[in-house]
Amino acid sequence: MASKKPNHVVVMAFPYGTHAMPLFNLVRRLAIQAPTLTFSFFSTSKSNQSVFGTSSNDNIPSNIKSYDVDDGVPKDFTGHHMAEMIFFLKSMVENYKNGIHSVYGDEMKMIKCFICDSFMYFGSDMADELGVPMVSFWTAGPCSLSTHFYTDLIRQSITLGPNGREEEIIDFVPGLSLIRIRDLQEDKQSPNSVAYISFGTLTTPPPHELAALAEGLEESGVPFLWSLKDHLVCQLPNGFLERTSKTGFIVPWTPQQRVLGHHAVGVFVTHCGWNSVMESITAGVPMICRPFFGDQRINCRMVSDVWGIGTRIKDGVFTKDGTKDCLDMILYEEKFRERIGALRSLAKHAVGLEGSSTKNFNTLAEIVCKD
């Protein structure tokens, strides 16, 4: 018996803003054009009610099926809608994958294509696993999309902000010959203004310190990105997520080197694991240290007392006032940035063609590869 040909298209909508409806309109046209295909439209219940409730049943082809996915928001949550989105984003990947698998189960091979809102980045991974194509749907204008394609070129060529070049045109990017520098989106945060917080994969401050750290962040008003496991978020003060929704973001994992390399990051609150210290030095980001065990205490001493590129949290534990004082010290005293800048230059030289690390590696390679 011949196996059935794949005839299902999985559609993943982003449920916020005006993302879902344009995608639905595209899918509706495709469904009319291809009546033998089934289009499975995945979004949150609230979004699906808005999209499918707005459209008359006569306008919805029978080969479009809507499926609800969990939005990740606690049932008793009554906070700000931006905090709702944070809950959604934290659980988005798992919830959409679970939703799709619950519908298809052992019949995933019936999927012939994915159509995903461009924010649903993980759709490409799912498509790759099945060996099928994925179409990314961009809901904004083509000019803004072009700026994302050419981000590196733009950053190399210009500096955003008030520097007297705001009226220059972006003639080096296709399609933007009439766009001026002032039209480009600026980074939401100023250079060296954001606190990045991460304690690695093995260590976490005790609950009372997590609460104190959160209180210090809130009191300081410093924008922050905090890598904190989902099951620990409940240990933060009540209402903290809602009150800091415009200044902070908590995620279960971050690509640390990329985060530290962003020019908006001005301080790294760290456990002082050696890898973290090295990554902070090579990125030129001063540190606030809260060591726990092993070599972390020695590393902390080097950072704070020997190299002078950071400070140890007062009395070795987080308090509200101690956190705020350390943030003020690192972010506003230029000496820390100057010292770590010099150390960063030495680190770069060490891995250069004539650097000590390069020479040591070459020696090791000779030993290992010797006949």
Give me the residues paired with residue 113 across strands: 9
Max alpha carbon distance in the chain (Å)? Answer: 77
Q: Edge-to-edge strands of the sheet including 248-251? A: 248-251, 224-227, 194-198, 265-270, 287-289, 310-312
Active site (annotated) includes residue 315: no
> In degrees rounded to 5, what are phi and psi of residue 137?
-105, 115
| Cβ(72)–Cβ(88) below 8 Å | yes
Coil, strand or helix at 92: helix
| Cβ(277)–Cβ(303) below 8 Å | yes
Task: List the catalytic residue out of 8, 19, 71, 271.
Answer: 19
**How many CB atoms within 10 Å of residue 107?**
11
> Which residue from 192, 193, 244 is spatially nearest to 217, judged by alpha carbons?
244
CA atoms within 13 A on the CB side of 65: 12
DSSP, res 4: P
Residue that has been written with the tokens 């230059």 in this structure: 345
Residue that has been written with the tokens 């480009």 in this structure: 184
Which stretch of DSSP H or E encloses residue 309?
Answer: none
Residue that has been written with the tokens 């982003």 in this structure: 14
Task: List the catalytic residue out of 8, 71, 117, 271.
Answer: 117
Which DSSP string do the residues of 207-229 spell out, in sequence order? HHHHHHHHHHHHHHT--EEEE--
CA dist., res. 262 & res. 255, Å (int) = 11
| Cβ(327)–Cβ(333) below 8 Å | no
> Which residue from 83, 92, 87 is spatially nearest to 247, judged by alpha carbons?
83
CA dist., res. 47 & res. 24, Å (int) = 11
Alpha carbon 333 to its chain centroid, in Å, reads: 28
Active site (annotated) includes residue 208: no
Residues identified as active-site = 19, 117
